[in-house]
Amino acid sequence: MISLKIVTWNINSVRLRIGLVAKFLAEFKPDILCLQETKCPNDKFPEEPFKALGYGHIAFFGQKGYHGVATVSRIPIDSQNRRDFCNKGDARYLATTFSSEGAFAPVTVHNFYVPAGGDVPDVNANPKFAHKLEFIDEMTRCFSAGGDLATERQVLVGDLNIAPHQNDVWSHKQLLKVVSHTPVEVERLGKLQAAGRWHDVVRTHIPTDTKLFTWWSYRSRDWRSSNRGRRLDHIWASAALEGRSSNVRVIDAVRDWERPSDHAPVLAEFDVS
């Protein structure tokens, strides 16, 4: 069996938290780490610390100040693909393909940072919310039958900034009008999932009757006791890989490390042999 351990983590500045990332890699040893919100221009990406830890294969798509995604790996990156969704000049999507030099059939990992969407869930009053929905719709077109990103063995990870199920938020009722859990967003995400025939690998292993969060706001004194979280970070897989997934978990202990990101890493393992 050849196993691929994949982690997605919104790091909220890769340069500020490079020490946390190093600690995480040493402890959990994923094969592939997908980061979002790197907030790091390409010419300033901290490649050396990753290389020193054995993660010598690095792809990044960043910009100054905001957004940015990166995928770092212990195994070679066969190819990579950046794309400017919604043509706004935002660095929010990076795909990488792996085969370990032919040891297994190619697997493509799509790493997304979907726009948060601002505060008001109204496309007319709030251009950021309109942008978020347009971004999801463009994803849907790309992964539909005949779409240019559809392949057979693929994983989609990232901060999708939507918590679809009732138990993906601390209070379904209180968050129905809060951006990230509104019915219009949940419906759009469902369309993307259906069009791309994606399987929510995390909910395959941790059923929807269980509360599960990956993000807790900085604006609370004690995030764990108040536990007002949301599941914004996701790992999806195509049918070919969903049945080969295991070891799925949210590593929430990391949210308690010193100067943490407000997001916790999400981990899944796939038998790719």
Partner DNA sequence: ATGGTCGGCAACCGA
Rule CB under 7 A: which residues touch DNA? 12-13, 15-16, 39, 41, 64-67, 115-118, 128, 161, 217-219, 259
Query: Residue 146 corresponds to which tokens in the numbers above?
Result: 């005949």
Cβ proximity to DNA: between 41 and 106 the closer is 41
CB of 143 to DNA, least distance (A): 22
CB of 208 to DNA, least distance (A): 24
User: What order of strands is seen across the sheet that includes strand 107-113?
Assistant: 79-82, 93-98, 107-113, 154-159, 233-237, 199-200
Cβ proximity to DNA: between 31 and 62 the closer is 62
Cβ proximity to DNA: between 87 and 210 the closer is 87
Q: Which amino acid is present at 105?
A: A
Backbone angles phi, psi at 82, to 5 degrees: -105, 155
Q: Which residues pair with 109 in a beta bridge?
A: 96, 155
CB of 199 to DNA, least distance (A): 25
Burial 22-61 (b: 16+ CB within 10 A, else e): bebbeeeebbbbbbbbbbbeeeebbeebbeebebebbbbb
Cβ proximity to DNA: between 209 and 258 the closer is 258
Cβ proximity to DNA: between 223 and 236 the closer is 223
Q: Which amino acid is present at 127?
A: P
What is the Cα–Cα distance from 128 to 56, expressed in whole angstroms?
36
What is the Cα–Cα distance from 6 to 103, expressed in whole angstroms?
17
Cβ proximity to DNA: between 125 and 194 the closer is 125
CB of 221 to DNA, least distance (A): 8
- Nearest Cα residue to 159 out of 19, 267, 263: 263
CB of 63 to DNA, least distance (A): 8
Query: Residue 71 corresponds to which tokens in the numbers above?
Result: 């995928």
CB of 186 to DNA, least distance (A): 18
